[in-house]
């Protein structure tokens, strides 16, 4: 992990990799993130940058790898998945978050984009399945309940260097 992190830094900064921050643009060059539709959200959620530039310290990088590792519990994975899918960072998955989530998964191209009727139906189905308290949003507990019924969630929510 240290080797991969330090390789993202300019040569002159590699000596002090533990105290350096890697810009988001460099993190996104990792093959493991390059094709991930949530790459920007992943950087945002794991970055502790005061500048809000989504750069990562070595510790941020390790936290990300830890959550996406096979040894992370399903609870930890689902907690971070929820944060990644909570695009507006308000602590709930509302209709807007769900629409962005679906668009990330289906692609942004015209040929793959759902019609507004299909999108509305899909969001309605997601809410009917997940929104236990019927408040129109999915909170963390509701999300974790849904994820707990998906046996392949933990094994598919991973990044291996």
Tens digit of each residue's pLDDT (9 = 90 or more) over 44-95:
999 999 999 999 999 999 999 999 999 999 999 999 999 999 999 999 999 9
Residues 24-34, mean pLDDT to the nearest whole number: 95
Nearest Cα to Cα of residue 46 among 5, 17, 74, 7: 5
- List the domains of the chain with CATH numbers: 1-68 (1.10.238.10), 74-157 (1.10.238.10)
Tens digit of each residue's pLDDT (9 = 90 or more) over 92-143:
999 999 999 999 998 867 777 899 999 999 999 999 999 999 999 999 999 9
Tens digit of each residue's pLDDT (9 = 90 or more) over 88-104:
999 999 999 999 999 99
Nearest Cα to Cα of residue 95 among 71, 65, 126: 126
> Under the phi-then-psi rule, with left for phi > 0, alpha for psi from -120 to 50, and beta for the rest, what region is 150?
beta
For 52-80, b where at least 16 C-beta lie within 10 A, e where not — what string? eebbbbbebbebbbebbeeebebeebbbb
What is the model's pTM? 0.92
Angle between helices 74-85 and 140-148 (to 10 degrees): 130
CB atoms within 10 A of CB 100: 17
Token pair for 122: 């899909």
């Amino acid at each position: 992990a240290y080797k991969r992190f330090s390789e993202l830094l300019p040569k002159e900064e590699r000596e002090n990799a533990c105290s350096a921050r890697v810009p988001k643009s460099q993190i996104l060059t990792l093959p493991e993130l390059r094709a991930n539709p949530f790459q920007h959200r992943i950087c945002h959620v794991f970055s502790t940058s005061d500048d809000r530039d989504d750069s990562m310290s070595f510790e941020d990088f390790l936290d990300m790898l830890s959550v996406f590792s096979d040894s992370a519990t399903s609870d930890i994975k689902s907690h971070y998945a929820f944060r990644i899918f909570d695009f507006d960072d308000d602590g709930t998955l509302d209709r807007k978050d769900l629409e962005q989530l679906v668009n990330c998964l289906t692609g942004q191209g015209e040929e793959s984009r759902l019609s507004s009727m299909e999108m509305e139906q899909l969001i309605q189905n997601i809410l009917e399945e997940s929104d236990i308290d019927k408040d129109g949003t999915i909170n963390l507990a509701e999300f974790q309940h849904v994820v707990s019924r998906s046996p392949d969630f933990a094994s598919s929510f991973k990044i291996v260097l």
